[in-house]
Amino acid sequence: MDTDQQILAIIEAEPIRDQASLLARLAEQGIQLTQPTLSRHLHKLSIRKQDGRYRVSREPVTVLPRMDISLVPPNLVILKTDPGHAQMLGLHLDKRQPEGMAGTVAGDDTIFIAAEAGTSLEDLRERVLDVFGRDG
């Protein structure tokens, strides 16, 4: 289990009230992190303190613009959207980090999504659509 999955498992299994407690629980499982690194993981995973404990924030993206996806072998997925929406969608993707995504570059209406080595572009396309709750 990777660090992100371990963090999610801990906060879903028990009430974690502060980062020191979470760092201690991770250390018990052999994962050593600094507080700033933990904060970056929490931000990436959309984990926030709610009602005195850490929880995954399930803020839905309510209005989604058009999304057309092209695959450019060997490792590029291109997402075309409405003008002005690419940066917001790219940020949402970066926060969710679908498996197989190496990173994104967002312009005004286009996002270049780089696939990790060995990742099927078709699989990455499906994971990107899943992030936005869309079917292919």
48-83 confidence digits (pLDDT tens)? 888 889 988 765 545 568 899 999 999 999 999 988
Cβ-contact 51, 23 below 8 angstroms: no
3-state secondary structure of 23: helix
pTM, full prediction: 0.55
- Domains, the chain, in order of start with CATH, read 3-56 (1.10.10.10), 67-131 (3.30.1360.40)
Burial class (CB in 10 A: 0-12, 13-18, 19+), 12: exposed
Q: Cis check for the bond before 74: say yes or no (omega within 30 of 0).
A: yes
Query: Residue 112: which of 100, 121, 103, 123 has the closest Cα?
Result: 103
pLDDT tops 60 at residue 103:
yes
Mean pLDDT of 24-33: 95
Convert the pLDDT of each residue in 107-119 to its tens digit: 999 999 999 999 9
Helical packing angle, 35-44 and 19-28, nearest 10°: 100
d(Cα 97, Cα 45) in Å, to the nearest integer?
9
